[in-house]
Amino acid sequence: MSTIKYSRDHEWIRIDGDTAVIGITDYAQTQLGDVVYVELPALGRRVEKGGEAAVVESVKAASEVYAPLSGEVIAVNEALSGEPGRVNSDPMGEGWFFKLRIALAGATGDLMDEAAYAAFVASLQ
């Protein structure tokens, strides 16, 4: 069974065992506007929690995508290279960015569940 958590930097993370799928939230893609380019991390790259892992560019701005957990990149969503708009149309599905093999199980203490994230986003408006 997978668990979805959210970061204060507006990334979502779907955890299933020792792997995790990461992308940006619907709120983040709405704030960015039309996504025109995504720079994904290299396979095998080690990312540190809170460190820059990818870049997303839109018609409005460029923004870093931070790793919500430390780990090794084991897959990237190559489809985003040709269709970066998937981030806008399906941010929590086909618009995922990369997958990690999690370095430290249980390191999700500062990540939010859906209700806490919704309250966090509401406080920003």
pLDDT tens for 88-112 read 999 999 999 999 999 987 677 789 9
**Sign of the CA dihedral running 117, 123, 124, 125:** positive
- Which H or E run contains 11? strand 11-16
pLDDT at 18 over 70: yes
C-beta of residue 38 within 8 angstroms of C-beta of residue 57: yes
pLDDT, tens digit (0-9, with 9 covering 90-100), for 41-80: 999 999 999 999 999 999 988 999 999 999 999 999 999 9
> With 70 as the cut, is the pLDDT of residue 1 above it?
no
Residue 44's pLDDT is: 97
Domains of the chain: 3-124 (2.40.50.100)
